């Protein structure tokens, strides 16, 4: 994103942690720690040590996310972990690459441009608006269509696909997938 939007994203995410004591940030890189330190100094937004998590084990990450009401992510992997954990997930698309992925996967999202003033951000109101636009049935149809394409592609080159992907692709029989709406 343009440099002037990165502070908005940081202020938004840390502001959520400051307003909701059970919220936490999952760091994925050393740069994330640097950003947290920047926020502490520049924006006077010190979050508690207990609100910063790092995972070496994907199943531990999933179990931790299963304890929350909502996942908000600015990285696609974090957002997909929320979905994997079965939690409502909102992705903040902060660059074109993430925007294209969330649109293709039909995930609930906003862009960083939707948060010009993070200090006046009302999380519950915002989640309600984004959630109202999400079409779960459309998401399921799209997911089944993509899984079916993977199954066909891997079958053609004789590579086994997991039973889970086959089960998702089987949803193609349930939906009319002739159109991609």
pLDDT in tens, 2-52: 344 467 788 888 888 888 999 999 998 888 888 888 888 888 888 888 999
CA-angle at 56, arms to 55 and 59, nearest 5°? 75
Q: Are 156 and 122 in contact (CB under 8 A)?
A: no
Q: Are 166 and 150 in contact (CB under 8 A)?
A: no
pLDDT at 179 (0 to 100)? 44
DSSP labels for 72-118? EESSHHHHHHHHHTT--EEEEE-SHHHHHHHHHHT--EEEGGG-S-G
pLDDT in tens, 129-154: 898 999 999 999 999 999 999 999 99
Please provide the average confidence, as pLDDT, over all residues in the chain.
87
């Amino acid at each position: 994103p343009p440099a002037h939007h990165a502070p908005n994203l940081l202020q938004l995410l840390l502001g959520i942690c400051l307003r909701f004591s059970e919220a936490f940030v999952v760091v994925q890189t050393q740069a994330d720690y640097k950003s947290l330190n920047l926020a502490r100094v520049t924006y006077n937004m010190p979050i508690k040590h207990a609100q910063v998590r790092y995972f070496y084990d994907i199943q531990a990450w999933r179990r931790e996310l299963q304890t929350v009401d909502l996942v908000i992510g600015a990285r696609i992997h974090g957002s997909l972990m929320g979905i994997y954990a079965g939690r409502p997930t909102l992705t903040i698309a902060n660059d074109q690459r993430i925007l294209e992925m969330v649109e293709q996967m039909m995930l609930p999202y906003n862009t960083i441009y939707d948060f010009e003033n993070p200090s006046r951000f009302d999380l519950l109101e915002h989640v309600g608006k984004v959630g109202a636009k999400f079409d779960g049935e459309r998401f399921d149809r799209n997911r089944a269509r993509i899984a079916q394409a993977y199954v066909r592609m891997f079958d053609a080159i004789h590579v086994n696909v997991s039973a889970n992907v086959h089960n998702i692709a089987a949803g193609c029989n349930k939906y009319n997938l002739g159109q991609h709406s």
